[in-house]
Amino acid sequence: MTAAIEIKNLQKSYDDTVALRGIDLTIKPGEFYGLLGPNGAGKTTTIGIITGLVKLQSGSVSVFGKDIIKDYRFTRSKIGVSPQEFTSDWFFSIEKLLIFQAGYYGIPKKVAQPRVNKVMKKLGLYEKRDDKIRFLSGGMKRRFMIAKSLVNDPDILILDEPTGVLTPQETERLFEILESMREQGVTIILITHKLQEIMAITNNVSVMRAGAMVAHRETAQTTREELAELMVGRQVLLRVEKTPAQPGDVVLRTENLTKIDDAGVTRLDHVSFELRAGEIVGVAGVTGNGQSELLEVLSGIQAPDYGNWTIHNRVVDQDHPSNPEEIRELNLAHVPEDRQRMGIISKFAARETAILGYHHDPTYTGPVLLKTDAIVADTEGKMDRFDIRPPNPRLTSDSFSGGNQQKLVLAREIERRPDILLIGQPTRGVDIGAIEFIHQQLVQMR
Ligand code: ADP
């Protein structure tokens, strides 16, 4: 039987960074394949090469027996991909963008429309088809990204971290869709850090580490513990070790905090709570229910419309709004939930992202110019302490994997030793080794 995907001795370097060191992988048609690996293992690069987004340097890839370079039209038409990061921050509607996507595959509009309708219905997007992408909640955006990967009716579907922002119900629904696609013969590759998802729905799993394939397993023959160890290269604690909290004084208090968005929708509705020193307060909820607005109000990005909140005796309300700079000076640090949009600046060097917001600090700047040497040294220290790879402060921020970008943002905020840390989705898209590390950091700060 011809393999759905056959990869032989794939190698790839970006300047000095070796991303892939000779990868072999065979995926049979109709398989539900899991691809695991810590951040920076080379998963995205591998997928990029398969789909033609990343240039192949050495080795070969064939899709249903056809070479991805020689027969790229054929091979690309067979594959649908839903990448990890959202790419469409545009003003277009769901429907319009899906039609565009079909156009990319050369599918004429007449043929595309019924197909797009079908896909939108499948993912529960049909009612929202006229909504602009940039205003969608995280979960809806993710569904859109999945819909986008389905418009060409692919025989191979590749999903990179599809469930990061989905609710358990949305995840279950997605898995049902995937299961039915597999029954129709579609080959599915799932990249995720969520081991329980790998265990629940894949048949086979491969583990990558540092640009190499380190193991192949039949899912039924392995365990979460074994996979975690294969990924990280050592035993990993799958739960957080901590002593009971000993909460101290109240350091932040909100009273009837209310926020109404531009469309007139009440996003925060009289939210009151207290936060004490030495405790971690979790806010749970389906995305789109005000968590983002809560973070934006408390970090000074938006003013409340009603109610107030207090930090170190500074009362913030509609008439006395604040701003992120003042809030930072009050020793509140913020790790935003959307690191791509608010945590980093993609095209800035890592050393610049590592000081964003604190760049006026005399450690980093003289009267006119930034102190580049000091910033580089500082970033190198952060990269060492947070195990950020590759440890090169000069690379642009977007050349790091999602998990490493997240660690860069965390290092920036945590190392200021804030009194209060606001943190949205601390471990989204982050591998288990890094999750363990982040949890330990947070418990230690507590
Ligand atoms: P994963 O998807 O498993 O997290 P990636 O394929 O994104 O891993 O990255 C593999 C390695 O290649 C990492 O060391 C990463 O920093 C590097 N890398 C990826 N993309 C680029 C790029 N555009 N420029 C420079 N280095 C890159």
Average pLDDT estimate for 284-298 = 89
Report the nearest-CA residue for atom 20 of ligand 1: 399
Average pLDDT estimate for 385-409 = 91
**Facing residues of 80 across strands?**
157
pLDDT in tens, 20-52: 999 999 999 999 999 999 888 999 999 999 999
Give, rounded to a whole angstrom, the gap between the first and last alpha carbons of the chain.
56
Q: Which one is predicted more confidently, 389 or 408?
A: 408
In the prediction, which pLDDT does 147 show? 92
Q: What is the torsional sign of CA 301, 304, 310, 314?
A: positive
Helix 109-122 to helix 138-148 angle, to the nearest 10 degrees? 140
Report the nearest-CA residue for atom 13 of ligand 1: 40
**CB-ligand 1 contact for 45 (6 Å cutoff):** yes
CA 401 / ligand 1 centre spacing (Å)? 6
> What is the edge-to-edge ordering of all strands in the sheet holding 5-14?
17-27, 5-14, 58-63, 66-67
**CB-ligand 1 contact for 383 (6 Å cutoff):** no
**CB-ligand 1 contact for 401 (6 Å cutoff):** yes
pTM of this prediction exceeds 0.85: no
CA 389 / ligand 1 centre spacing (Å)? 9
Residue 422 near residue 324 (C-beta atoms within 8 A): no
Q: Is the pLDDT of residue 137 over 90?
A: no
Q: What percent of the chain has pLDDT over 70?
A: 99
Residue 415: φ, ψ to 5°: -75, -5
Q: Is the pLDDT of residue 237 over 80?
A: no
Q: Is the pLDDT of residue 238 over 70?
A: yes
The confidence band for 8, taking pLDDT boundaries of 50, 70 and 90, is very high
In the prediction, which pLDDT does 294 show? 96
Question: Residue 307 is encoded by which pair of tokens?
Answer: 């109610």
Q: What is the mean pLDDT of the chain?
A: 92
pLDDT in tens, 343-371: 999 999 999 999 999 999 999 999 999 99
**CB-ligand 1 contact for 43 (6 Å cutoff):** yes
In the prediction, which pLDDT does 287 show? 76
Nearest-angstrom CA–CA distance, 51 and 434: 28
pLDDT in tens, 412-440: 999 999 999 999 999 887 888 888 889 99
Q: Is the pLDDT of residue 193 over 90?
A: no
Question: Residue 8 is encoded by which pair of tokens?
Answer: 């032989």
Determine the residue of 85, 396, 400 to mutate for testing ligand 1's pocket, defined as the one with the most ligand atoms within 8 A of the Cβ atom. 400
In the prediction, which pLDDT does 67 show? 95
Q: Is the pLDDT of residue 102 over 80?
A: yes
Q: Is the pLDDT of residue 336 over 70?
A: yes
In the prediction, which pLDDT does 88 show? 56
**CB-ligand 1 contact for 17 (6 Å cutoff):** yes
The confidence band for 401, taking pLDDT boundaries of 50, 70 and 90, is confident
**CB-ligand 1 contact for 41 (6 Å cutoff):** yes
Which helix (H) or strand (E) element contains residue 99? helix 94-104
In the prediction, which pLDDT does 89 show? 60
In the prediction, which pLDDT does 87 show? 65
In the prediction, which pLDDT does 84 show? 82
Average pLDDT estimate for 142-153 = 90
CA 11 / ligand 1 centre spacing (Å)? 13
